[in-house]
Amino acid sequence: MDTKALQLLSRFGIPPNSRGYCGKSEATEIIRNCIATGDCTGVVEQLKQFQTLRAYRELLAEIAGLDPFSYKVAEAYWIGNELLEKVPEGLYGLLLQKLGGNNLQAEPKRVILHHSFQVLWMGARELAGAVPNLTDWVNNCLVRWGKVVKTGQDEVKVEVNSITYEYQWVTTRETLPLDAKLTPDVEVGEYIAIHWRQIVKVLTVSELKNLIAWTNEVIESLR
């Protein structure tokens, strides 16, 4: 099994799991250990319990002819890469089936098998009226990008790209204090990925470019 892929899946999976949103409660320490030590024993079994992630991974793997736990598949869903360009039309029904019979009736113009699509189309529509502040939920659940402007012990300040709803989703910018326990060596000036107000990864130039491009692609596709 690809340890690098399991560590990437663990990095993005630990914030929602630790809040009780995805997977089983015992997964938190198992996937945290995978990130810290590279010992990913038991991680595959735990990640299989992340139903939404599993649905997207399986579809991407089928389309690309890759293992569902390959790095390219993990990267495509959480950050974005060339695999998303291969997604054919007509997948919405199959995606809903893999998600466990989600009862959303409306169909989007385009299905993009990226985390931002799950948040902005599936999640936002399903949770509208069910959460106190939908925009806050969306920004927490999205994988956002930002630039570190100040470092400190376990917490850093980041200039973050967020979104708000003004008859459609639009991007905004704000500076926030964020949890940096998963990236203790992060430095001022670095660009990072954020999930549930936690810095999960320092981004390379190509990763930053892909995350921005595919998030914006999803936003545009939903207008």
The predicted model scores a pTM of 0.93
State residue 130's pLDDT score.
60
Classified as helix, coil or strand, 77 is helix
- Asked if pLDDT for residue 198 goes beyond 90, the answer is yes
Q: Where are the domains of the chain?
A: 3-221
State residue 10's pLDDT score.
97
Per-residue model confidence as pLDDT tens digits over 18-53 = 999 999 999 999 999 999 999 999 999 999 999 999
- Burial-class residue 25 by CB neighbours within 10 Å (0-12, 13-18, 19+): exposed
Per-residue model confidence as pLDDT tens digits over 50-59 = 999 999 999 9
